[in-house]
Chains A and B, each alone.
Chain A
């Protein structure tokens, strides 16, 4: 009897706390807080030498892609036609740009949430600001940094491609390519963020936290892909890597109608979208939960 009363009391306490949380402040104050933190952190994060050095890498996709087609781009245009060639270039940017944006995303997450940043974040905790808003403000700053890099990357890529080949990719293709590179970068950001927050929680160095991301995104896909060259029964394993799902999404959207596109069915494409978005969302959610509940 007493136990059930206690349970009821706990339930009432829980719901009263939820109501209290919701009604404590008007919603515009929450947005105001996030905006102020975002604005300050964005300036702090973006106007650093490190970011400008990273930003100089936006030339990289154009250089790598044009280098690979430099000898026979005229033949490619003739063979494919302008429309297909544009798609081919956009998908080329997506593959190369994805890697670049992921790297910049990881760097910005380390800058925003790493060990030293976590120490400096303590200054916010003494202010009348919700911890969740501190987290959101910082995350928005990181994502904005990646978005800026992505936009610059695709614009510069298009500009150099136009100067080099005389063909420019369409505006819609530019948006698609940008969007797809951003998806990969967001996934890398969210996963790295989760590992960094866990590392901070246990007082480990945050630079260790990028190792799991490197494994998940590059080392494991590479190894699996490498092994599939020799072992017939393994190819299915590649489907379990992030890179496979990112490739599925990419092919589905941009590439000319050949290769993976023709083999894949709708189910696989839907599954890829679901996996990427769910993992990114869950990672963000768990990071925020750990961040807001840690005593720092």
Chain B
């Protein structure tokens, strides 16, 4: 069986023609996604998660390589492929001042539904996400959790086959998150969908996906079933501190009973379940007044990929 989504030799360099400062966002990525898979792209900010999402949507033009959906090149047939995709961006995907029903109805029409279908679908979705009472009310009067739920409805109207969630629940409380998880779970189990989610929170990944792709600096460093990745493949976590001269005593206090190495601003934490405990460790450090700049999974594979990248660069 052919995979639903195929990413082949995908590279993206921003600022190629206009700006002298070039940023390499994706480096020669290759992976495929089968129908019905639930994938999480995991990595720190700047890892290239959103760029992959946008490349799948056809919103960014790859510098090299291509993305195929059902063996159709996304860049060559954007409308056809976009019909199959529902996209929930990290920022709001609706107008704050337009009433909910109107926005949903409008998006439904643009997704190709007939007037009747768009009306029925928007009513049904608002009921499903528990916002039926907010029918005529603009989202600016909603809480951030409600807006996120409404955003979800906007993404799934028209029943797309593939759903992309670009850090969808990054700024809402735990209860709000659980509600979103539940809604997504219900939605994808009632009619099997392919879900691709990006996050930098491993707990979100654990709940929402069954395959984990760990990314760093535009490369895939680990790709496998989530339980396997967490248990077996990622044994270290690299944390970069915000201070150039960190308070070592406070770090020692925060990381008591942990196996770690420290050099300058970098802390390398070793544990069997390094990804799983990353959030706890970050909370501990922040609780002890140690500001964090970024964190990323650390695996030997990363060094190999750098070498690979040099070879690819040479070829180009």
Q: Which residues of A contact B (CB under 8 A)?
A: 17, 20, 24-25, 33, 36-37, 40, 43-44, 48, 119-120, 122-130, 202, 295-296
Given A25-B79, A126-B82, A130-B79, also A33-B110 (CB < 8 A)? yes
Interfacial chain A residues near B42, Cβ < 8 Å: none
CA distance A109 to B111 in the complex (A): 26
Q: Quick check: B77 and A127 within 8 Å, CB to CB?
A: no
Number of A-B contacts (CB under 8 A): 61
- Are B110 and A128 in touch, CB under 8 angstroms? yes
Question: Is B97 on the interface with A (CB-CB < 8 A)?
Answer: yes
A127 to B110, CA, bound (A): 7
Q: Select the stretch in B57-65, B223-231, B254-262 that faces chain A.
A: B57-65
Whether A129 contacts B76 by the Cβ 8 Å rule is no
Contact A44 B111 (CB under 8 A): no
Complex-state Cα separation, A125 to B107, whole angstroms: 12
Quick check: B110 and A36 within 8 Å, CB to CB? yes
Tell me if B60 and A295 are in contact (CB < 8 A): yes
Cβ B109 vs Cβ A295 within 8 A: no
Residues on A with beta carbons closer than 8 Å to the beta carbon of B80:
24, 128
Bound-complex Cα distance A124 to B106 (A): 11
- B94 an interface residue at 8 Å Cβ cutoff? yes
Q: Are A36 and B109 interface neighbours, CB within 8 A?
A: yes
Minimum CB–CB distance from A261 to chain B (whole Å) comes to: 48
Stretch at the interface among B84-92, B126-134, B241-249, B272-280: B84-92
Q: A129-B82, A130-B79 are in contact. List 7 more A-B contacts (CB 8 A).
A: A24-B77, A24-B80, A36-B109, A43-B98, A123-B93, A125-B57, A126-B93
Number of interface residues of B (CB under 8 A): 29
Cα–Cα, bound, A69→B79 (Å): 59
Contacts of B93 in A (CB 8 A): 122-123, 126
Q: Pick from A24, A43, A129, A202: contact of B110, CB below 8 A.
A: A129
For the complex, would chain A's binding face be called helix, strand, loop or mixed by DSSP majority? helix
Residue of A nearest to B14 (CB): A295
Which of B59, B102, B109 is in CB contact (< 8 Å) with A126? B59
Task: Pick the contact of A20: B76, B95, B97 (CB < 8 A).
Answer: B76
Given A25-B79, A128-B112, A295-B59, A36 and B106 touching (CB < 8 A)?
Answer: yes
Q: Tell which of A17, A129, A130, A295 touches B61, judged by Cβ atoms closer than 8 Å.
A: A295
Kindly identify which residue among A44, A122, A126 contacts B97, using a CB–CB cutoff of 8 Å: A44
Q: State A128–B18 Cα separation when bound (angstroms).
A: 28
Q: Are B94 and A123 in contact (CB under 8 A)?
A: yes
Give the chain B neighbours of A127 by CB distance below 8 A.
82, 107, 110-111
A125 to B111, CA, bound (A): 12
A contact residues around B217 at 8 Å (CB) = none
CA distance A43 to B138 in the complex (A): 14
Asked if B83 is at the interface of the complex by the 8 Å CB criterion, the answer is yes
Mind listing 12 A-B residue pairs with CB under 8 Å?
Answer: A36-B110, A119-B91, A122-B89, A122-B93, A125-B57, A125-B59, A126-B89, A127-B82, A127-B111, A128-B111, A295-B61, A296-B59
> Chain B 14-37, CB within 8 Å of chain A: the 1/0 string?
000010000000000000000000
Which residues of chain A are within 8 angstroms of B154 by Cβ–Cβ distance?
123
Give the complex CA separation of A33 and B93 in angstroms.
18
Shortest beta-carbon distance, A264 to chain B, in Å? 44
Q: When the two chains form their complex, are residues B89 and A128 in contact, meaning their CB atoms are under 8 A apart?
A: no
Q: What are the residues of chain B within 8 A of A129 when measuring CB–CB?
A: 79, 82, 110
Closest chain A residue, CB of each to CB of B19:
A202
With a cutoff of 8 Å between Cβ atoms, the chain A residues found around residue B83 in the complex are 128
Q: Which 5 A-B pairs have the closest CB atoms?
A: A126-B87, A128-B82, A128-B83, A123-B93, A40-B106
B residues in contact with A25, CB < 8 Å: 79
Residues on B with C-beta less than 8 A from A122 are: 89, 91, 93
Most chain A beta-carbon contacts within 10 A, residue among B18, B57, B59, B111: B59
Query: A36-B109, A44-B97 are contacts. A126–B61 as well, Cβ < 8 Å?
Result: no
Indicate with 1 or 0, residue by residue over B179-217, a CB within 8 angstroms of chain A CB atoms: 000000000000000000000000000000000000000
- Is the beta-carbon distance between B85 and A44 smaller than 8 angstroms? no
Pick the most buried of B77, B89, B110: most chain A CB atoms within 10 A of its CB: B110
| Alpha-carbon separation in the docked complex, A122 to B106 (Å) | 15
The distance in angstroms between the C-alpha atoms of A128 and B158, with both chains bound, is 11
In the assembled complex, the Cα of A15 lies from the Cα of B113 at a distance in Å of 32
Q: How far is the CA of A137 from the CA of B241 in the complex (A)?
A: 48
Give chain A nearest CB distance to B114 CB in angstroms.
11
- Given that A20-B76, A24-B77, A25-B79 are contacting pairs, would A126 and B106 also be in contact in the complex, using a CB cutoff of 8 Å? no
Residues in B neighbouring A44, C-beta threshold 8 A: 95, 97-98
A128 to B110, CA, bound (A): 7
Chain B residues near A128: list those with CB within 8 A.
Answer: 78-80, 82-83, 110-112
Binary flags per residue of B37-67, CB closer than 8 Å to A gives 1, else 0 = 0000000000000000000010111000000
Q: Which residue of chain B has its CB nearest to the CB of A39? A: B106
Nearest CB of A to B23, in Å: 13
Distance A162 CA – B250 CA, assembled complex (angstroms): 83
Q: Which residue of B lies closest to A24 (CB)?
A: B79
Chain A residues, CB < 8 A from B94: 123
**Known contacts A37-B110, A40-B106, A44-B97; A126 and B57 CB within 8 A of each other:** yes
> Which of A40, A122, A296 counts the most B-chain CB atoms under 10 A from its CB?
A40
